[in-house]
A = this chain, B = another copy of it.
Amino acid sequence: MVAEIEHKITDSEWEVMRVVWAQNKVTSKEIIEVLQQKKDWKPATTKTFIGRLVNKGMLETETEGKKYLYSSKVSEGDIIKSSLNDFYNNICSREVGNTIAYLLSNATLSFKDIDILEKILETKKKDAVEEVPCNCVPGQCKCSEHGYSNCNSDHCNSNHSNEHQG
Residues on A facing B (Cβ under 8 Å) = 11, 14-15, 18-19, 21-25, 34, 37-38, 72-77, 80-81, 83-84, 86-88, 90-93, 95-105, 107-114, 116-118, 120-121, 124-125, 127-134, 136-139, 141-143, 148, 150-155, 165-166
CB distance from A136 to the nearest CB of B (A): 4
Q: Among the listed B74, B86, B121, B132, which residue makes an inter-chain contact with A117, where contact means beta carbons less than 8 Å apart?
A: B121
Copies, count: 2
Complex contact B73–A166 (CB within 8 A): yes
Q: Among the listed B75, B108, B132, B153, which residue makes an inter-chain contact with A24, where contact means beta carbons less than 8 Å apart?
A: B153
Between A21, A88, A96, A128, the greatest number of chain B beta carbons within 10 A of the residue's beta carbon is seen for A21
